[in-house]
Structure 1
Amino acid sequence: MRFLHQRLSLFTEGNDTYIFVPDGADAQSLTVHRSSEPKTPIPHTAHRSSKPLYGIVGIISLSLSEYIIIITGRELLGRLLDHDIYRATNFDILPVNPNISSHSPPHPVEAHLLALVRSHLHDGNFLFSYDWDVTRRLQAQWETREKDGFNAFWETVGIGYLFESVGGLFTVFKADDRFFWNRHLQSKLIDLTGPEQDFSPYILPIMYGTFDLRPTLLHGRHMQLCLISRRSRFRAGARYLRRGIDQDGHVANFNETEQIVLLEGPTPGLPGASDINVVAKLSFVQIRGSVPVFWAEINTLRYKPDLQIMDLQETADAMRRHLQEQVQTYGSQALVNLVNQKGYEKPVKEAYERYVAELNLPNVRYEYFDFHNECRKMRWDRISVLIDRMKDDLEQHGYFQLGTNEENPIKMQTGVVRTNCMDNLDRTNVVQATIAKWTLNQQLRELGILSGTAGVDDYESFSKDFREMWADHADAIAGAYGGSGALKSDFTRTNKRTKKGVLEDGVKSTTRYIKNNFFDGARQDGFDLVTGAWVARRTPSASLFLITDARPLITRSMPLVALFSLFMITAGLTLPRSSDYSLFYYFLLWFTLLAVALAFIVIHGIDYVAWPRLNPPTETIYYTGPGFRSAHHGKGVKGSGAAEAMLKRMNWASNGRPRGVVEEVELETLKKRVD
């Protein structure tokens, strides 16, 4: 594959141009003209920025200008197979329009959109490498190794799809950019790349996920344990705002998790030794994703949201599209469903099972495990019941293994376990870690490092590294989707459930409640803006709904009435008690106002949830078609409130211009600016 520039220098000449020059390389520079008149590549009057520049994330178009997002800080996470893996730690946003400042934009809409972009970049965990494709698992890279040598780095984001034939398995290649997180931001440079000008060395694929690499020792053999999770950019978002499936077959919170074992030769080497000393590479992949039907949970300020299942005609086609894509990508599917079979979650389980049975797809097997019932009273050892049921699938799917002869793999992974619960976080994390440990035991036994009855839990130091990797991985995925660390992570870290862990889970659940109800709307807007699910119109006046509150005055005033009443009640407790009679009416007045305000807020709870404004879920909240709804809380006395009108107005304003038109106009503009 062709190289990427690892470090750039940024030159600016007043408000005319940005010139990105690769350090230490005799290569074509990238010039972005901020004014209409082109300049020479590096004018003698150009000023060199003192900030380090480690890559270009891409170009995003907002309401007043395009902006170039660059990486100005990075952290080395580890060296995998002689390739450095970095996490982006700092970013800078450069306006292309010379009359715009990214720090003090002239319009509040532009300031709001820039704040969403900055928040998304600051909160995310973005990983990249200059010479190794972090977006693809080892087996996929091996399958396309010959084809990749002729492509630019960003073009190697392809994958081998497995198909069965009479003679066995054969491979077909198809582009797969699910984990190329900044694909939308890089689309303009990709579209401008051609025979006359090649911007490929500047197109840096970035992944949203986790990476952990730990050198370890077991029975005198040095090895490296690595855990990588990759988050799909499709249907990305926050916990209660992205659930289920979309029309294209993409599901919410889809993550691919790869566990890698690199075994070094018998002669001990230094921790993290070079690739030359690695005699075996093993990779095991699992996936997780939301239940692939049309469903949602509607926040109403209550602890339990309203559960909504939409029984649409296209559900079967969407689920078929999703599962067939997984079969084509990974091979056979073992669907492990951990949703409760009673109570609140039961309708989701029933809808999932109904459509799986209706489709009856080949190479897809469904397995239900009642996690909470089986593991009640902290009987976490009962997860072994699920492993016993899955043993045949795990043995049939196998794992990927390369020896010293990389032309012929020793093993290929021909299927995956797809695990889900309601959030695909806590229960899913526990089960995936248990499956990964079972597979690791099998791998180490087949390598001759463990005996037939031994397991990684018999070696505390090795087991501790394994448990901490999976616990940190669980916390990162849960934080990205749910807003807090994973629940039940004490079991992953210690192999047992503790009372302290239960208390910590209470704190995490409270944190999730607050974030999910009052902060996730803006976070969802950041996802939609950066991934291209929403594209800004080039007139800020068309997006004033982003910064205005369309709710009626009475709705907006009730929280203030409640707070002021609470203040007056508190103040009344400090007043001198000269007359109990007068204080009685004083407290009666303010307690009554407080009760009325709180009752109004509860009855109209949907109006007080921080909904996303770019793509508001209006149709889902007010869905009236066939399906199931657990309740209709928070909609007001008559079942509708201010939120409905507000969300409908925002939905009309945000979708008033086709996305393709926006991109076509902006591409023509950018062609005039970029050399």
Structure 2
Amino acid sequence: MLHQRLQLYTQGNDTYIFVPETAGAPSLTVHRSSGELTLNPPHSLPPSARRSNKTVYAILGILSLSLSDYVVIMTEREFKGKLLGHDIYRASGYELLPLSPNINTYNPPHAVEAHLLALVRSHLASGVFFFSYTWDLTRRLQAQWETREQNLDTPMWQAVDDRFFWNKYMQTRLIELTQGNPNQDLSPYIVPIMYGTFDIRNVSLRGRTMQLCLISRRSRFRAGTRYFRRGVDHDGHVANFNETEQLLLVEDDASSQSGSGDAGTQMSFVQIRGSVPVFWAEVNTLRYKPDLQVMDLQDTADMMRKHLQEQISTYGDQALVSLVNRKGHEQPVKEAYERYVEQLDLPNVRYQYFDFHNECKHMRWDRISVLIDQLEGDLKKHGYFHLPSHQREPALLQRGTVRTNCMDNLDRTNVVQAALARWTLNQQLRALNILSADDSIDAYDGVAQDFREMWADHADAIAQAYGGSGALKSDFTRTSKRTKKGVLEDGVKSVLRYLKNNFFDGARQDGFDLIVGNWVPRKNPATSMFLVSDARPLITRAMPVAVSFSLFMICAGLTLPRSSDYSLFYYFFIWLTLLAGALIFIVIHGIDYVSWPRLLPSTEYIYYNGPGFRSARHGMGLGKGDGPKTRMGTTMSAKWSSGRKRTGSVAVEGEKKRVD
């Protein structure tokens, strides 16, 4: 059992002592000088220990920065609901306890340490983390049922799905001590948290009481932001991978009368999403549409195979639904995806293309039914998990999933996944004889509204985490209609995404890489001064200042007395010329003004020159800009299919741990 509440004691500058409220449980001492962890016998608190006013709801782990290690604790939690009788919480408050006695976390002695602490705080504050002390929130219902016997006496941190154990890197020290010394079992202190969404609602339909629950789980592998994590890495992990589980829990009369909260019939339907599993990227240049880069590396086919085989071993058969546009900017990604899927020809994989924008143009969102008709055979073959009330064996297992992706795996993907979830929910309710064969939840306003709101909130949360704004097309998800107001709101969200993706996401990406352990700082802040210094040439740094000053002078000129038209003409001519020149310089050198990640730089795909496709080379300065485009069309397809020897391939920056 995990400790649900801890009291913090300190012993001078020597130790932190965490005392569980559970009677007879051993306390945990963290020695600040050595970082050593020790379990103490119950009721062995030193007389000199002083009680803190902090209540600790979980130890999220220990994080090492450049000057000190820090114990990351959860100081606030928010109750979100009960799932099968288990309390589910969202982590809402955190604190970092330095092991070094000379460190003040709010006024650290070095700029590098201050920067790293800001990254940690920002990541924890902006993330959406859920956990439970008594329920494994990282694993879908069917997976828990399949391993129920072997996991009876297994600590939660060993049973969780490793992909969704978000704070596993921070818990490394506790896990290693537990594994290496049976007498120091820290399992009750290791609380796994999940990055994702959780929503559960009580609904009533035709006299039956039930719960509708939606959970999404974000993978910690290749995690990050929209433009800085795309495609697949050299371990077969893809960006923005999310597992989404829709649960239908129908109470029977016995459970309803007992008030136990346990559902009678349990049903689960799982979908997944993830970036197109080839090596590709979009290079920000300050233009609204970034440059598209698709890299033909030697191990592309192997990494796609590895990724798809992992999904097959985890979920069963795969129906790959691609919503990437067949024309324009997105076409090369679509063609690369289809080329390698055809080349691999895996027996448990079926590819289905749907031209979303063309099929649903002019707000014809009902056309999504065409895709559902195309997938109906797969959906029936895959099925869903169904454990009837008071039965030990399920009536049905889910034997496959639909893997949906668009370019970002956000907006179009959200709409399609919600439509597939609605179709499956109708099938489940018909199987339980709650709905008739020709009936649908759309005929019942209460249930339909809850369903739409859950999926819209879920879409907004995933889009916020990856793209920096709420989901587009959410008006359709919420109301089943596309409105002009929704189109206007999408325009505002698109502008917000542009600003965040170009000017703020570099630091956000650094936060991801720091928390999940992709980058480990050395215990010497001088080696990481690149984090807080600006190495760009003086002229590059001066241009934004020139723009700001020119705008100021132009605005000030509007207030000058008009004593001479000639003097005003020359005045405005000078400042408008300076403004135009500075803006032109910024556009030509746009890459230098993007907020790039600093912990794991993106230089490999920004300046990639190997085989593949590049839409343009904007933002690189004069002489390095627009060149001839290399299309992944008929010409390149013929070269690839001929089995020509590939040269010039380079390793793309992935999720490998780096120490600086």
User: TM-score if structure 1 supplies the norm length?
Assistant: 0.91
Q: What's the CA shift for 1:29?
A: 1.0
- The residue aligned with 1:251 is 238
Matched, 1:630 2:627: no
- The residue aligned with 1:203 is 190
Matches of 1:659 and 1:498 in 2, distance apart? Answer: 46
- The residue aligned with 1:234 is 221
Mapped contact 1:12–1:47 kept (Cα < 8 A): yes
Matched, 1:11 2:9: yes
Mapped contact 1:81–1:274 kept (Cα < 8 A): no
- The residue aligned with 2:650 is none
- The residue aligned with 1:84 is 87
Matches of 1:331 and 1:313 in 2, distance apart? Answer: 27
Which of 569, 572, 589 is the aligned partner of 1:584? 569
Matched, 1:313 2:298: yes
- The residue aligned with 2:153 is 150
Mapped contact 1:603–1:637 kept (Cα < 8 A): yes
Which of 364, 389, 395 is the aligned partner of 1:410? 395
Q: Deviations over 1:618-651 (max 9, x none)?
A: 11100000000001000000228xxxxxxxxxxx
Matches of 2:341 and 2:659 in 1, distance apart? Answer: 38
Which of 260, 269, 273 is the aligned partner of 1:274? 260
Matches of 2:33 and 2:172 in 1, distance apart? Answer: 22
Cα gap change, 1:483 to 1:222, in 2 (>3 Å): same
1:176-575 residue pairs with structure 2 within 5 A? 176-193=161-178, 194-266=181-253, 269=256, 273-276=259-262, 278-575=263-560
Mapped contact 1:127–1:206 kept (Cα < 8 A): yes
Name the amino acid aligned to 1:212.
D
Matched, 1:132 2:132: no
Q: What's the CA shift for 1:603?
A: 0.2
Q: Deviations over 1:535-582 (max 9, x none)?
A: 111110000000000000000000110111111111111111110011
Q: What's the CA shift for 1:405?
A: 3.7
Matches of 1:359 and 1:424 in 2, distance apart? Answer: 23
Task: Please give the secondary structure, in 2, of the residue aligned with 1:197.
Answer: coil
Identity percentage over the alignment?
Answer: 69
Q: What's the CA shift for 1:100?
A: 1.6
Matches of 1:661 and 1:52 in 2, distance apart? Answer: 34
Matched, 1:605 2:554: no
Name the amino acid aligned to 1:256.
E
- The residue aligned with 2:641 is none
Q: Deviations over 1:594-628 (max 9, x none)?
A: 00000000000000000000001011100000000
Mapped contact 1:213–1:224 kept (Cα < 8 A): yes
Matched, 1:52 2:52: no
Task: Please give the secondary structure, in 1, of the residue aligned with 2:394.
Answer: coil
Cα gap change, 1:396 to 1:36, in 2 (>3 Å): closer
Mapped contact 1:221–1:268 kept (Cα < 8 A): no
1:652-667 residue pairs with structure 2 within 5 A? none
Matches of 1:406 and 1:52 in 2, distance apart? Answer: 41
- The residue aligned with 2:628 is none
Q: What's the CA shift for 1:403?
A: 1.5
Matches of 2:342 and 2:291 in 1, distance apart? Answer: 26
- The residue aligned with 1:164 is none
Name the amino acid aligned to 1:123.
S
Task: Please give the secondary structure, in 1, of the residue aligned with 2:562.
Answer: coil
Name the amino acid aligned to 2:613.
F
Name the amino acid aligned to 1:475.
D
Mapped contact 1:298–1:621 kept (Cα < 8 A): yes
Cα gap change, 1:660 to 1:628, in 2 (>3 Å): closer
User: TM-score if structure 2 supplies the norm length?
Assistant: 0.93
Q: Deviations over 1:242-261 (max 9, x none)?
A: 00000000000000000000
Matched, 1:121 2:124: yes
Matches of 1:37 and 1:257 in 2, distance apart? Answer: 38
- The residue aligned with 1:161 is none
- Higher mean C-alpha deviation, range 35-44 or range 219-228: 35-44
Matches of 1:538 and 1:37 in 2, distance apart? Answer: 14
Mapped contact 1:225–1:259 kept (Cα < 8 A): yes
Matches of 2:149 and 2:66 in 1, distance apart? Answer: 43
Matches of 2:311 and 2:22 in 1, distance apart? Answer: 43
Task: Please give the secondary structure, in 2, of the residue aligned with 1:497.
Answer: coil
- The residue aligned with 2:635 is none
Matches of 2:333 and 2:35 in 1, distance apart? Answer: 59
Task: Please give the secondary structure, in 2, of the residue aligned with 1:322.
Answer: helix
Matches of 1:8 and 1:604 in 2, distance apart? Answer: 53
Task: Please give the secondary structure, in 1, of the residue aligned with 2:374.
Answer: helix
Mapped contact 2:519–2:658 kept (Cα < 8 A): no
Name the amino acid aligned to 1:55.
A
Matches of 1:560 and 1:307 in 2, distance apart? Answer: 30
Q: What's the CA shift for 1:388?
A: 0.2
Matches of 1:273 and 1:122 in 2, distance apart? Answer: 36
Q: What's the CA shift for 1:407?
A: 2.3
Q: What's the CA shift for 1:266?
A: 3.8
Task: Please give the secondary structure, in 2, of the residue aligned with 1:427.
Answer: helix
Matched, 1:20 2:5: no
Q: Deviations over 1:417-457 (max 9, x none)?
A: 00000000000000000000000000000000000000000
Q: What's the CA shift for 1:42?
A: 2.2
Name the amino acid aligned to 1:49.
S
Which of 103, 106, 115 is the aligned partner of 1:112? 115
Superposition CA RMSD, Å? 1.7
Cα gap change, 1:147 to 1:521, in 2 (>3 Å): same
Matches of 1:416 and 1:86 in 2, distance apart? Answer: 28
Q: What's the CA shift for 1:36?
A: 5.3
Q: What's the CA shift for 1:150?
A: 2.0
Name the amino acid aligned to 1:291.
V
Unaligned 5+ residue runs, structure 2?
626-652
Name the amino acid aligned to 1:274.
S
Task: Please give the secondary structure, in 2, of the residue aligned with 1:134.
Answer: coil
Task: Please give the secondary structure, in 2, of the residue aligned with 1:614.
Answer: coil
Q: What's the CA shift for 1:37?
A: 11
Q: What's the CA shift for 1:25?
A: 2.3
Task: Please give the secondary structure, in 2, of the residue aligned with 1:367.
Answer: strand
Unaligned 5+ residue runs, structure 1?
158-175, 641-654, 663-675
Matches of 1:405 and 1:19 in 2, distance apart? Answer: 45
Mapped contact 2:211–2:250 kept (Cα < 8 A): yes
Matches of 1:368 and 1:27 in 2, distance apart? Answer: 56
Matches of 1:558 and 1:12 in 2, distance apart? Answer: 51
Matches of 2:382 and 2:620 in 1, distance apart? Answer: 48
Name the amino acid aligned to 2:189.
Y
Name the amino acid aligned to 1:126.
F
